[in-house]
Amino acid sequence: MAFVSTRESTFRIILKDGFKVKPGSTFICGFHGLGEVGFLSTAHLTKTLNADLVGYVKTDMLPLFVSMENERLVLPFEIFSYEPKKMIFLVPRFQPHQSDQWAFVDRLADWVVENKFKEALLMGGLDISFKDEESMENDNIRCVPTSAYLPEINKWSAPILEEGLFVAGPLALFLAELEMRGAPGVGLLAYAKRGRPDPRAAAIMLEKINEVYGVKANVEQLLEESREIERLEKVRKSIETRDDPTSMYL
């Protein structure tokens, strides 16, 4: 499969020969943040929608790892296309190197603007300890829109992130870069558990995306992974309690 580079620099987006982003597409990405929610959501979306691999991101700080998946060589930063809904996904299997994050996001934001994307959807996690216990059970998502995205925010039927809470990492930087360019983008944050991957939060994210975009991303695998993680956590806690000599007095 032939590929051509769209830029000559330390940051390059390499697209399949002949592939072009259609104006009015939706750019979707999620990084390795709290609960791995952004990455899990993006990776699962591309897989369950059978999105087509159309390119890669190459930088001077490219992680020195590759792997195999379904007899295909998998690279650190891959770009996929889901033509029926004009969706373009960036799947970052690794977090961009800390010293490279500003340049990475800066050039990526340029690319989003240059290709006239209708919107950028950036997915991530929000520490569940910040959740108001009095909130409704299904009140599990918060939005962080750029100024240009505000006219579209109601379609998510989710509250805007409360004042005093902060978004961090590449997702925060990406939103800032879009805001400075006057580009429409929104951070979609699902409440997640800190310290481990949270597939259940990713499933909640995908269910919302199914609703808004009219796609049919199956979330059962994520829910099964979540159940297994929760089962292992219960086993670990049971073992820790059993091994605690003071537990016999409880």
The answer to whether the CB of 28 falls within 8 A of the CB of 46 is: no
Angle, nearest 10°, between helix axes 37-48 and 199-213?
50
Helix (H) or strand (E) holding 206: helix 199-213
Q: Which pair of structure tokens corresponds to residue 140? A: 């599990």
Close Cβ partners of 142 (under 8 Å, ≥ 6 residues apart): 126, 158, 159, 160, 161, 162, 188, 189, 191
Q: Where are the beta strands (DSSP E) in 104-147?
A: 119-127, 141-145
| Domains of the chain in sequence order | 3-221 (3.40.50.10900)
Q: What is the pLDDT along the chain (250 residues), one digit of tens a residue?
A: 565 555 445 789 999 988 999 999 999 999 998 999 999 999 999 999 999 999 999 988 888 899 998 889 999 999 999 999 999 999 999 988 888 899 999 999 999 999 999 999 999 999 998 887 655 455 899 999 999 999 999 999 999 999 999 999 999 999 999 999 999 999 999 999 888 889 999 999 999 999 999 999 988 888 787 777 777 667 766 666 655 555 444 4
Q: Residue 45: how many CB atoms within 10 A of its CB?
A: 26
pTM of the model: 0.87
Q: Where are the beta strands (DSSP E) in the chain?
A: 3-5, 11-16, 26-30, 52-59, 67-69, 72-74, 77-82, 87-92, 119-127, 141-145, 185-192
Q: Three-class SS of residue 3?
A: strand
